Chains A and B, each alone.
Chain A
Amino acid sequence: MPDRMSQPSRAVIFFCKVNGIEYEEIKVHIPKGQHLTPEFEAINLMQKLPAIADGRFKLFESHAILIYLACAFPGVADHWYPADVFKRSKIHSVLDWHHSNLRRGAAPYVFNTTIAPILGRPLNPQVAAEAEIILSSSLSKLESFWLKGNGRFLLGGNQPSIADLSLVCELMQLEVLDEKDRTRLLGPHKKVQQWIENTRNATSPHFDEVHRVIMLAKERQQHQRLKAAKNEGGSNMKRPLVSRM
C-alpha cells in the first residue's frame, strides 16, 4: 500500500520490482488523507505508509518490510540481505542509523521548504534550518564513513543491499528542491552522488520508473518557481499543484 511520493514506499516498490516479487499496488493517497481513513487503519494502526498484507499477515515500517520480503520470497539474491551474520549486522546498523540521521534531516527539510503546501500545511523555515544541520551532517557521514573504501555501494559492497535502496530513495526526495539548494547540499559529496548513480544503474529500468512521480513533482515545482519569480504574489501557486495531484 504505497504513495509513491513517500520515500520508504518507493524503496519497497523498488525492491519488489527488481526481485520479481509479484504484488498488488494499492494506492493510498497521502494528500487526500486516505492514510487516515478507518479502512486504512485496519491495515496499519499507525496510519503510515508503506504497509503490506501478505495473506493474513500485516506489516508496517519499511525496513521491517524489506527484511521480510528478502527472507520470505524465493529468488532474492543474497546481496540484498546477506545470510552472513556479520554483513547482515552492518546492514542493520546503517538502517538503524538512517532513522535518526538521514531520514530525520532529509524528510523535514524537504517538507518544510517545498512539499508542505501540497498537503495544505505551512512551510516552517525554523524546522527546515534545524533539519538542514542534521541532513548536512548525515551526508558527511555517508561520504566519509558508510561509503568509505572502494565499493560502489554502502559498507564497501559491490552489489546493492536493502540499505542502499532505503537511503537512496530518501535522497531522491531532494530532487523536488530548488536546484541551488540541492546543489548546495549534495555538491560537496562526490561519493554520495556517484553512489546514487550506481544504485540507479544497478536497478534500471525500475529506478527511473519508480521515481517518475518525484521527477514530475520536480518539474511542477520548477514551473511554479519560475511563475512565482515572474508574478508578485504567490496566490496562483497552490491551485495548479493540487489539480495535478
Chain B
Amino acid sequence: MKLKLYADRMSQPVRAVIIFCKKNGIDFEEIRVDIAKRQNLTPEYAEINPMKQLPAIVDGRFKLFESHAILVYLASSFPGVADHWYPADVFKRSKIHSVLDWHHSNLRRGPTTIVRNTVLAPVLGRPLNPEAAAEGEKFLSASLSKIESVWLKGNGRFLLGGNQPSIADLSLVCDIMQLELLGETERNRLLGPYKEVQQWIENTRNATNPHFDEVHKILMKAKEKLQNPRMKGATNEGGGSDMKRTLHSRI
C-alpha cells in the first residue's frame, strides 16, 4: 500500500515533506486537503489528524503528524535515502534535532504570522491585523539574524556547516519561501539584509531542483494573483470569494 500524504501545497511544512519524498524517490499518493476551504476541519480529516493540521501521513495502518516527525520517519524507514538528509552519526543528528526544535519557537513564528495577517487574510476569511504582522516581523528578523550568525556559521553551503542539505534545510527554507506571497518589494525588504540566508535558499533550491520549483509553483501562482492590481481590487468584499475560487482551481 502506497504512502498517503495529506497535503495543501500552500503550507510550508507540507512542501518540505513533498520535496523530500520526490527527491528521494519515495512513492506517495498526495491527497489534497484544502485549508482555505477548511477541509482540514472536517470530521473525516480529524480521523487522520485530530489536531486538524497539515501535513499528515498514513503508511499502511501507521498514522503520523508534525512535519519534523514525518521527515525523520521517512528518512529512517525508506531505503535509498542518502545519509546527509538525517545522518546516522549521533553528533550530526543531534545538531539537526537542535535546529529543528529551535525552528518551532523562532523562524516558524515569522513568515506565517506576517502572511496570514496581511495578504492571505482575505483568502482565509480573517481580518487584516498589522499589529500581529509586525510581531511576526520581529520573530522573522531575529530568526534570520540567528540563522546567519549561528546556523550558517562557517563555510558550509547549508545549515550546521554542511555541504549537503539535511531535512533541517528543507524545513526552514520552505518556511522562508512563504514570504514570496508578499511580493518582490516586501520580500526584498525583509530578506535584503541577509546575504548568507539568500545564498543558502538558492543552494537548497539548486540541490533539490527540479522538485523545489515544481512544488513551489502553486505558491508562485498565488503570489502573482495577490500582486496583480486587477486581483487586488477584487480582494474587497465580492472579490474575496473569486480569489478563493481561482486559487482553488489552480491548487
Contact = CB atoms under 8 A, between A and B. Distances in A.
Contacts of B105: 99-100, 103-104
A80 interface: no
A80 B138 CA distance: 37
Contacts of B51: 97, 141, 145
A72 B72 contact: no
Contacts of B224: none
A93 B104 contact: no
Contacts of B66: 92-93, 96-97
A86 B223 CA distance: 38
B97 A46 contact: no
A90 B65 CA distance: 8
Nearest to A103: B105
Contacts of A59: 94-95, 98
B98 A90 contact: no
Interface in A48-106: 57, 59-65, 67-68, 71-72, 85-86, 88-90, 92-93, 95-97, 99-100, 103-104
A59 B90 CA distance: 12
B174 to A, nearest CB: 16
Contacts of A216: none
A202 interface: no
Nearest to A48: B102
A45 interface: yes
Contact of B69 (A93, A100, A104): A93
Interface in A191-241: none
* Overall SS of chain B's interface: helix
Contact of B65 (A60, A64, A65, A93): A93
Interface residues of A, number: 31
A92 B102 contact: no
B194 interface: no
A65 B101 CA distance: 11
A85 B50 CA distance: 21
A72 B149 CA distance: 28
Contacts of B146: 45-46
Interface string B186-204: 0000000000000000000
A96 B62 contact: no
A95 B72 CA distance: 13
A53 B116 CA distance: 39
Given A57-B91, A61-B102, A141-B51, A89 B97 contact: no
A199 B76 CA distance: 29
9 contacts: A59-B95, A64-B98, A67-B94, A71-B90, A89-B62, A92-B68, A93-B64, A95-B69, A96-B68
Interface of B: 50-51, 62, 64-70, 72-73, 76-77, 90-91, 94-95, 97-98, 100-102, 104-105, 108, 146, 149-150
Interface of A: 45-46, 57, 59-65, 67-68, 71-72, 85-86, 88-90, 92-93, 95-97, 99-100, 103-104, 141, 144-145
